[in-house]
Structure 1
Amino acid sequence: MQAKLRAQANRHSIEFMIVGGISLAVIMIFVSLRSSAISILEIALTSSAIVAILIGFLKSQQPYYSILLDAQQIVYVHKFGQWQIGIHNLHSCGIPQAGETFELLELNAVGIKLISIDEFLEALSPRLAGKLLIEQRHIFLQAVKMHCKNGNCPSEWLIEPDEFKSDSGQTYTGLIAMFANRMHNLKTLTGYDLLLPANVLDRDIWRFSTLLNRWKLSPEQVVKNLREEQVTNEQM
């Protein structure tokens, strides 16, 4: 039994493209039937319609389901691959915070703390690792800035080396090593190894964090509840 959660980033793609396409068609017909030159307002509206079509197209390229959850593991589905974490390897989840005691910044993501990073890294594809390094860099830099307000940041926080040795003695190179170094730095800054950004989730980060912690304690019940929730939403 598996629950499938749809990302917010994928939603309303068709609506964006339909509204943008209809708007663009109406503007073109209106302009073609009129003898005067196109106005600045019409140019702006045309640009907006094209942007809506582009946004809808980009949304449609995202996986329909971003999170797959069953009693054994959680799978994050990305258009460049996927990673998975067995329930036995999940330590805890929460909202990562960065900064000093009296000035903490909550990152717009769910943080995941692993028991063994080696198990995760050995199943991670270099292609996905490289893409996540780029996509999640802005979130990581928010944490870095909160810790480096005096401007003195360790260089390894800003440029991930392409070699990494885990606590178990396993050595990694290339993109996997760079991702492992990002994980190490993220844990130093926030206490978590991985990030699930808000836009890949089907609910807000606080509810999703609570959901995963509940899943850790009672996986079959949580999956059952999610499937029932999904059926109810489809019938509405």
Structure 2
Amino acid sequence: MRVPCLPLVMLLLTASCVSAPATPEIVPSAATGIERALQSSVSLVVDDGGRADGFGSAIVLNEQGYLVTAHHVVDGAMGITVLMAGGRAAVARVVAEDPVGDIAILQTTFVPEAMVPATAASGCAVGDEVISVGNPFGTSRLGGSPSVARGIVSASSRSFVSEKTGRVYLDCIQHDAPTNPGNSGGGIFNARGQLLGMNVLINTPQDTASESGVAFALPASSLLYAAQRLLAGE
């Protein structure tokens, strides 16, 4: 008598329905995110014709040596020097600017392979980690890479008028990463090293230049959109 094969068929069907183990999402380590943020960041030394140099930071836009920074960092500059990781330095010039929006586009004469254009994050939420990269108090002159600080997103969609300049800032990201003079124009990034925004303003205690844990950044989406329009001559 022929033995029925149904149990075997059922076993095979059951086995075929077992789901394969889900592939875990690969999340970059903190060190990897910081490395990516540093690759998209440079420091600025600004000669404004005065007795002391000014300092700032900038974000890498593309492989052609274009950078974006805050307009107030380079306003009236007689000369701009870009400081890069590894002690390299290059001259830069302003090629487009939007004083009202506090955005300026620079182009540098030297583009090392290690410089990587910033990639915008899809967004952020209150409590997300922030990696702030910049040149506080001109410390990049001492050698090495721009300085890194960490914090969280404190709030979003902050809009206000600067008491000092009268500029109107819309939909800014508020964060608490240590931010000091020289950080302006530098990027804030998420844990993956993706750009969240550009530092433009700090709320300092009265009669002091120290940081207060209240900093504001233009969001990456509007920043990069404005930068592309400036590059296109619009």
Question: Which of these two proteins has the greater Rg computed from alpha carbons?
Answer: 2
Higher helix share: 1
Q: TM-score, normalised by structure 2?
A: 0.26
Alignment TM-score, normalising by the size of structure 1: 0.26
RCO comparison, higher one (Cα < 8 Å, 6+): 1
